[in-house]
Chain A
Amino acid sequence: MATITIDGNQYDVDDTENLLAVALSKGYDLPYFCWHPELHSVGACRQCAVKQYRNDEDEKGMIVMACMTPCSDGGRFEIADKEAAEMRSQVIEWLMINHPHDCPVCEEGGECHLQDMTLMTGHTQRRYRGPKRTHRNQDLGPFISHEMNRCIACYRCVRFYRDYADGDDLRALGSHNNVYFGRDSDGALDNEFSGNLVEVCPTGVFTDKTLGAHYNRKWDMQNAPGICTHCSLGCNTSPGSRQGMLKRIQNRFHGEINHYFLCDRGRFGAGFVNRDDRPRQPLVRNADGILEPRAMDVMRDTMESVFAEAKGVVGVGSPRASLEDNYALRHLVGAKQFSNGMSAPDAAASRAALAVLENHSGQLATLREIEECDAVLILGEDVTQTAPRVALSLRQSARNKHHEMAAANKIPKWHARAVRDIGQTHNSPIFSATTHATRLDDIVVEPYRARPNAIAALGFAVANALDATAPAAVEPLDQDAQAFVDAIAATLKGAKKPLIIAGTSLGDPSILAAAGNAMRALRTANSEARLFVTFNEANSLGLAMMEDRDVDTAFAAIEDGTADTLVVMQNCLYERAPKARVDAAIKKAKNVIVMDHSLTRTVGEAATHVLPAGSFAEADGTLINNEGRAQRFFQVFIPDAPMQEGWRWAQDLAEVAGHKPDWIGMDDLIAAIVADMPQFAGIQDAAPSQSFRKFGMRFPRSPHRYSGRTALYANVDVRERRPEVDPDSALSYSMEGYQGVATPPALMSYAWAPGWDSNQAAITRFQDEVGGHLKGGDPGVRILRVAAGHSAFADATIHPVAGWQAVPIHAIFGSESQSARSAAIVERMPAAEYRVNPAAAKSLKLTAGDTLELAIDGETHAFPIAIDPSLPDQTVGVPVGMHGVCGLRLPVEIKP
């Protein structure tokens, strides 16, 4: 603690912070560029100049950079000082000398930090009339546009891309007045977090290409608090729309999860919402097998007769749909006829994961907490591909060593360059056992490669090494492996905050049991030990909590004739079971009713009746993320089509089927879920109820300067439309309502504060301290029960496969079914190929490029072979979720 004076006001502040961060936290408008709450200070831009006085007698003072000035006790500072203010405006003027006259045609305009700072310093007239420096741009791929002329050389981009995300292909090129921020040559940015450049760059150099394709200014967008649905982490997003079209995904700060950064799958994967081939009205398959549109009322009658004639109905839920949608389907078909929609192996792994989470629910790391862990063991997960944002957090955890070394030398955490210099390549240890080489290997200590069951065995062995009472794997490890295990155990034991990461992507429950045992062994000695478990889809954990029956039970009911009608909620059957089985079931079933938002294979080939359900952008719902946090997402816009939320369809169907539910709106439905399934108690608090108001007002989806309201639809009818009323939430479909810092965080559709238009700077006004947590608490509620006492160790059972095995290879761009329908993601999808190691290729008598035809789980695909020396012997890496391969059923035995 230190007491400092800023502009005559005294504050008690954290003395480990720099003056700029403190001033911003205290609400001062102090301009800055190169500093960022996560990238810290380098003092490069000279924008944050303030006056510092030596003592009470000092009248002259000296100009210092606030971001490089520690808040030492007794410090006296002036932000308002005339000389300092003059310096700040001159710095801007100098930065603007070469700046192009681009604002009107710049995608950054309206949310540009440079515009804000220019205004804040009062430099409003250009005086320089000489020639400006210019640059050529590069093609940086489908995600990001490049306009180098707008660069102010703050170095934030490379500090994020290289120093924070450990990317390699973006760099500062050239020298002196010629610096250039780009790649060696044209090409897509390689790092999985490149999209954050859009928000990190304070100018319009890097902008969102997918937004540019149908551009709108920030002030013209209708937003909503969103939750990313492209993996299980549940990063908070702010999707923006206009006139019923989804325009972009922006980061929405959450102090425990994503804070300032998203992954590229989450940011650029929402294009599927705008696809033309989406079902946008009720459809019925005619005798020729073509889906024909039906009016809503006609469809209602049709459905009435379908349910009247049905001899047994089974429901297939979905781990990518909300709890509400799934629960409504469960109500429609009856609890016993409902399945969680996961493939059998996925469901088994998810159940195992849930059990482990419940056993250690007091010990679960948040995404943010990963950054504080100083030793990590990853069991099986290729996190960069399956839960991408984890990889970014892990990269920060590796740097804990730097901070430790810096602290020992009395260098503050915010002194970015010094911390880096002292840390060099000394990282905190990360151990990782995976089936093949991963993108994280550069920070991993001796990457360990093995088949899924051997990874589980390693996990059990680590648990045993940590605590001798934990069962070891049945077969003893070889000497090298045992030495490795001992090293891991010793490191984890010695760490202040060790972390175990595991997940369901390999479909092997024993890996999760092993992680649980290791955690159990660790936490007896160290209460700071943490566990982090990832799942395959956005609501996998929610569905595992809701229902044990997997999709196979639904097929069994059709096969044995107990049911003849299949009702599917936002799921593709072909992703969940072998094609032959799905085809047979569909043939046998009289009716297949599908409620979905995309043209999946099930909609296109199997459905007899299609009910267009809203995607995340057209519906509200609750998702349970991987740490058991219930989070609400809200409808972004009202579609101009007869679509509705999945749960509304299920509600309508229940009504025609003769068991009308007694819930009406969202609040009712959530209350019904909680009453019916106590494991979900708490989800009602994930966001304020639909009747919540501030000063009698709702909370706006749009910024206060949303323009064109009396002209947007004037071509259709010159009389303005009535603003839509949202029956399901406390948000308004306009700019009307309460805007201010007292907005509950769960209802913050976008970030804006007077003078601060850019997302990452405006959010400061809503945080308890800059970069910390949201005022009023980070949204969402963790609902997992905290288990009393310590659970018993699980048995160390593994199921070794003797012969050949197919293992899943996940890809950030492609393996998730919704984002894989987005044009920008498709461009980055890896090629279809089977991967084998050289020995395996030799035994198959194949070389790279040869085509291998492989029957996996009743489905045959022929792909070229790629040689990947990192794979274990007799193992084929199969791309999952893309190129027609339905992936969530691996690993399986194969016979090539």
Chain B
Amino acid sequence: MKNAAQNAISATSGVLRTLGMTFMHSFRKRDTIMYPEEQPYLPPRYRGRIVLTRDPDGAERCVACNLCSVACPVDCISVVKTEDETGRWYPESFRINFSRCIYCGFCEEACPTYAIQLTPDFEMGEFDRQQMVYEKSDLLISGVGKRPGYNFYRVAGMAVGGKDKGAAENEAEPIDIKTLLP
């Protein structure tokens, strides 16, 4: 009997306390902002609109390796690889179907070149779903995004676009197969 009464009192006070706390919020500073007149602050690592960045030399960073597309849980990225005349891989086409994208950021995590990056821009609403399909021209920006400095081809061993064998970072001169010297 005693327990029942105690329970009733503590439950009621709990409810009243919550109501009170909620009521007190009316006197606090508002978190809601008058979007879109007022824009929220979103940290750089917020996962919104996806872009393709360029390397510090201004060339396309994406090498069309297809790791983003295979990592994508909703399969909304399609990349078609091609090569320029120097053997540099780049995407002939790069398409993201944003009407399927769940902004999980797996593609960014998978990307070995820092090409694909999610940005804090989330204003992507469209009336026509077809407009949610972005091609490379819609995705490619002119900057390096969150990763200044990194250029995949300066690290990779392939000879491309003026970079010869042995000219990448931490590479020795190509071996001379004719030498017998130790």
B69 CB contact (under 8 Å) in A102, A105, A136, A707? A707
**Given A104-B65, A708-B69, A715-B133, A134 and B171 contact (CB-CB distance below 8 Å):** yes
Between A136, A708, A711, A718, the greatest number of chain B beta carbons within 10 A of the residue's beta carbon is seen for A711
Q: Does A103 belong to the interface (CB within 8 Å)?
A: yes
Q: Which of A175-183, A683-691, A823-831 contacts B (4 or more CB under 8 A)?
A: A175-183
Residues of B within 8 A of A212 (CB): 83
- Report whether A712 and B78 are in contact in the complex, using a CB–CB cutoff of 8 Å: yes
- New A-B pairs, 19, CB < 8 Å, besides A708-B77, A711-B97: A100-B168, A101-B152, A104-B89, A104-B112, A110-B70, A134-B171, A134-B173, A136-B165, A136-B174, A147-B157, A174-B175, A180-B175, A707-B72, A707-B77, A708-B69, A710-B75, A711-B76, A711-B78, A714-B95
A135 CB contact (under 8 Å) in B69, B175, B182? B175
- Report whether B133 and A718 are in contact in the complex, using a CB–CB cutoff of 8 Å: yes
Q: Does A478 belong to the interface (CB within 8 Å)?
A: no
**Given A133-B172, A711-B78, A714-B133, A104 and B165 contact (CB-CB distance below 8 Å):** no
- Report whether B79 and A708 are in contact in the complex, using a CB–CB cutoff of 8 Å: yes
Report the separation of the CA atoms of residues A714 and B128 in the bound assembly, to the nearest whole angstrom: 13
Report the separation of the CA atoms of residues A174 and B30 in the bound assembly, to the nearest whole angstrom: 74
Residues of A within 8 A of B175 (CB): 133-135, 174, 177-178, 180
Q: Fill in one digit per residue for A78-117: 1 if any B CB lies within 8 Å of its CB, else 0.
A: 0000000000000000000000111111000110000000
Q: Does A173 belong to the interface (CB within 8 Å)?
A: yes
Residue on A nearest B135 in the bound complex, by CB: A715
Among A191-221, those with CB < 8 Å from B are 212, 215-217, 219-220
Report the separation of the CA atoms of residues A136 and B178 in the bound assembly, to the nearest whole angstrom: 13
Report the separation of the CA atoms of residues A216 and B91 in the bound assembly, to the nearest whole angstrom: 12
Q: Fill in one digit per residue for A705-739: 1 if any B CB lies within 8 Å of its CB, else 0.
A: 11111111011011100000000000000000000
Enumerate the 6 nearest inter-chain pairs by beta-carbon distance, A residue then B residue, closest first.
Answer: A100-B157, A104-B65, A708-B78, A174-B177, A711-B78, A707-B69
Between B89, B112, B165, B177, the greatest number of chain A beta carbons within 10 A of the residue's beta carbon is seen for B177
- Report whether B72 and A132 are in contact in the complex, using a CB–CB cutoff of 8 Å: no
B155 CB contact (under 8 Å) in A101, A705, A709, A710? A101
- Report whether B177 and A219 are in contact in the complex, using a CB–CB cutoff of 8 Å: no
- Report whether A105 and B158 are in contact in the complex, using a CB–CB cutoff of 8 Å: yes
Residue on B nearest A147 in the bound complex, by CB: B158
Residues of A within 8 A of B76 (CB): 708, 710-711, 714
- Report whether A175 and B129 are in contact in the complex, using a CB–CB cutoff of 8 Å: no
Between B72, B81, B158, B176, the greatest number of chain A beta carbons within 10 A of the residue's beta carbon is seen for B158
Among B41-63, those with CB < 8 Å from A are 63
Q: Does B12 belong to the interface (CB within 8 Å)?
A: no
Report the separation of the CA atoms of residues A296 and B158 in the bound assembly, to the nearest whole angstrom: 49
Q: Fill in one digit per residue for B97-137: 1 if any A CB lies within 8 Å of its CB, else 0.
A: 10110000000000011000000000000000110110100
Report the separation of the CA atoms of residues A855 and B77 in the bound assembly, to the nearest whole angstrom: 60
Which A residues lie at the B interface, using CB under 8 A? 100-105, 109-110, 129-137, 147, 149-150, 173-178, 180, 212, 215-217, 219-220, 705-712, 714-715, 717-719
Q: Does B86 belong to the interface (CB within 8 Å)?
A: no
Report the separation of the CA atoms of residues A712 and B77 in the bound assembly, to the nearest whole angstrom: 8
Report the separation of the CA atoms of residues A130 and B169 in the bound assembly, to the nearest whole angstrom: 10
9 contacts between A and B (CB under 8 A): A131-B171, A132-B172, A134-B157, A136-B165, A149-B158, A706-B75, A707-B72, A717-B130, A718-B97
Report the separation of the CA atoms of residues A175 and B175 in the bound assembly, to the nearest whole angstrom: 11
**Given A173-B177, A707-B75, A104 and B172 contact (CB-CB distance below 8 Å):** no
Residue on A nearest B62 in the bound complex, by CB: A104
Q: Does B96 belong to the interface (CB within 8 Å)?
A: yes
Residues of A within 8 A of B63 (CB): 104-105
Q: Fill in one digit per residue for B27-47: 1 if any A CB lies within 8 Å of its CB, else 0.
A: 000000000000000000000
Residue on B nearest A172 in the bound complex, by CB: B177
- Report whether A175 and B156 are in contact in the complex, using a CB–CB cutoff of 8 Å: no
Report the separation of the CA atoms of residues A135 and B159 in the bound assembly, to the nearest whole angstrom: 10
Residues of A within 8 A of B174 (CB): 134-136
Report the separation of the CA atoms of residues A220 and B72 in the bound assembly, to the nearest whole angstrom: 13
Residues of B within 8 A of A176 (CB): 182
**Given A707-B75, A711-B100, A134 and B155 contact (CB-CB distance below 8 Å):** no
Tell me the dominant secondary structure on chain B's binding face.
loop
- Report whether B100 and A710 are in contact in the complex, using a CB–CB cutoff of 8 Å: yes
Q: Does B161 belong to the interface (CB within 8 Å)?
A: no
- Report whether B172 and A134 are in contact in the complex, using a CB–CB cutoff of 8 Å: yes
- Report whether B179 and A178 are in contact in the complex, using a CB–CB cutoff of 8 Å: yes
Residues of B within 8 A of A102 (CB): 156-158
Q: Nearest Cβ in chain B — how far from A865, in angstroms?
A: 40
Q: Does B180 belong to the interface (CB within 8 Å)?
A: yes
Residues of A within 8 A of B172 (CB): 131-134
**Given A100-B156, A175-B180, A718 and B170 contact (CB-CB distance below 8 Å):** no
Report the separation of the CA atoms of residues A177 and B172 in the bound assembly, to the nearest whole angstrom: 13
Q: Nearest Cβ in chain A — how far from B84, in angstroms?
A: 12
Q: Nearest Cβ in chain A — how far from B83, in angstroms?
A: 8
Q: Fill in one digit per residue for B128-164: 1 if any A CB lies within 8 Å of its CB, else 0.
A: 0110110100000000000000001001111100000
Report the separation of the CA atoms of residues A13 and B124 in the bound assembly, to the nearest whole angstrom: 63
Q: Does B11 belong to the interface (CB within 8 Å)?
A: no
Report the separation of the CA atoms of residues A100 and B112 in the bound assembly, to the nearest whole angstrom: 14
Q: Nearest Cβ in chain A — how far from B168, in angstroms?
A: 8
Residue on B nearest A145 in the bound complex, by CB: B87
Q: Nearest Cβ in chain A — how far from B124, in angstroms?
A: 14
Residues of A within 8 A of B157 (CB): 100-102, 132, 134, 147, 149-150
Report the separation of the CA atoms of residues A133 and B173 in the bound assembly, to the nearest whole angstrom: 7
Residues of B within 8 A of A712 (CB): 78, 95
Q: Does B14 belong to the interface (CB within 8 Å)?
A: no
Q: Does B16 belong to the interface (CB within 8 Å)?
A: no
Q: Nearest Cβ in chain A — how far from B104, in angstroms?
A: 14
Q: Nearest Cβ in chain A — how far from B117, in angstroms?
A: 16
Residue on A nearest B167 in the bound complex, by CB: A134
Q: Nearest Cβ in chain A — how far from B158, in angstroms?
A: 6
Residues of A within 8 A of B95 (CB): 711-712, 714-715
Q: Nearest Cβ in chain B — how far from A713, in angstroms?
A: 9
Residues of A within 8 A of B97 (CB): 710-711, 714, 718
Q: Nearest Cβ in chain A — how far from B125, in angstroms?
A: 15
Residues of B within 8 A of A131 (CB): 170-172
Residue on A nearest B166 in the bound complex, by CB: A134
Q: Nearest Cβ in chain A — how far from B92, in angstroms?
A: 10
- Report whether A709 and B180 are in contact in the complex, using a CB–CB cutoff of 8 Å: no
- Report whether B66 and A217 are in contact in the complex, using a CB–CB cutoff of 8 Å: yes
Residues of A within 8 A of B166 (CB): 134
Residues of A within 8 A of B70 (CB): 110, 217, 219-220, 705, 707
Report the separation of the CA atoms of residues A195 and B172 in the bound assembly, to the nearest whole angstrom: 31
Residues of A within 8 A of B69 (CB): 220, 707-708, 711
Q: Nearest Cβ in chain A — how far from B2, in angstroms?
A: 60
Residues of B within 8 A of A133 (CB): 172, 175
Report the separation of the CA atoms of residues A441 and B165 in the bound assembly, to the nearest whole angstrom: 41
- Report whether A101 and B66 are in contact in the complex, using a CB–CB cutoff of 8 Å: no
